[in-house]
Amino acid sequence: MNIPPALENEIQEFIDHTRVERGFSENTSSAYMRDLMQYAAWLGSEGVLSARAISPAHVLRYAHELRSAHYNPATKGKIYSPPSVARKLASIRSWHRFLAREKEYPDPAAKMEAARLPQRLPRVLGMDQVRALLASPKSDSPSGVRDKAILELLYSSGLRASELCDLREGAIDMKAGFVRCTGKGDKERMIPVGETARAAIENYLQFSRPKLLENRSAKKGANRRLPTVIFLGDEGQPMSRATLYQMVRLHADRAALPDWVTPHTLRHSFATHLLQNGADLRAIQEMLGHVDIATTQIYTHVETQHLRKSYQKAHPRA
């Protein structure tokens, strides 16, 4: 990408602001960076060399080209989904607001309305599907014991993938039955962990994790400093989100579950099943780490949909 230096510097200032002052996670800040560098490359191709020179017409034309799939920053014929376009435009609006506030630049995106997306209900697993997924890992190998502990913990606590991968030694209080995690905005919260999950984690810590660390020690050129994260990959390295996703997909396939099952599906299922069994919405909000109760209320729509299907299936005059 041929990006004008002034634009790149102004984007970097904003990214530093999101990390330091707004407490965004590395993943969120990186997503902003990708979206804005793509925007800057397009601006460069239009002859725009600094953010001060961006006009409302530039912003509107870029938005139109994103929606129309005319703009191909990396691969020709790239088509963005409506949620992807909405995210990219939200990044642009945030950047221009920042420049207007910090540098008193004109805000060319001020009159661009946020995209209204149809609300998609999260997909959740039924209890039989959850049981099948949790039964998939075999206990005859260190990786199988680890996978069992991870799946049980995801369903028991509703952790995000990044939160699980970042868990450090001592984060799980086996006796009290809580896991302490750091979520979005570096906010810490405590979440109950069920007895079955604790037993699976205890088994992993005693039997599986030491063996995975042995794999790390046996690997030539490995960093001798032992990782402090709880969950490790097959070679003793800290587990990444990509590895976690692949692991969940492996067991979902083995359990003959749909191809939309991901680590986040277990978070959705955790919240929905709690609500179905009478848990308070505010308590679910706290466990999920949602700032706004409106975010948690999506699960009431899932529950309503579940009740409607049950009614239509069972009532003779439905």
CATH topology of domain 5-103: DNA polymerase; domain 1 (1.10.150)
> Is residue 245 among the annotated active site residues?
no
Model confidence at 74: pLDDT above 50: no
Q: Kindly name the residue from 32, 62, 71, 299 that is annotated as catalytic.
A: 299
Neighbour order of strands in the sheet with 178-182 = 172-173, 178-182, 188-192
With bands split at pLDDT 50, 70 and 90, how would you rate the model's confidence at 215?
confident
> Is residue 290 among the annotated active site residues?
yes
> Is residue 267 among the annotated active site residues?
yes
Model confidence at 69: pLDDT above 70: no
CA-closest candidate to residue 36, choices 80, 82, 77, 90: 90
Model confidence at 32: pLDDT above 80: yes
Q: Kindly name the residue from 160, 216, 251, 273 that is annotated as catalytic.
A: 160
Q: Kindly name the residue from 19, 67, 123, 184 that is annotated as catalytic.
A: 184
Residue 48 confidence (pLDDT): 92
Q: When comparing pLDDT for 106 and 184, which is higher?
A: 106
Number of neighbouring beta carbons within 10 Å of residue 206? 10
Q: Kindly name the residue from 148, 267, 268, 273 that is annotated as catalytic.
A: 267
CA-closest candidate to residue 208, choices 132, 134, 137, 130: 137
List the single range of 112-126, 137-151, 165-179 with lowest mean pLDDT. Answer: 112-126
Token digits for 312?
């239509």
CATH class of segment(s) 127-264: mainly alpha
Ranges of each domain in the chain: 5-103, 127-264
Q: Kindly name the residue from 17, 97, 264, 306 that is annotated as catalytic.
A: 264
Model confidence at 211: pLDDT above 50: yes
Whole-number Å distance between alpha carbons of 267 and 287: 10
Residue 180 confidence (pLDDT): 95
> Is residue 184 among the annotated active site residues?
yes
Token digits for 122?
């999260």
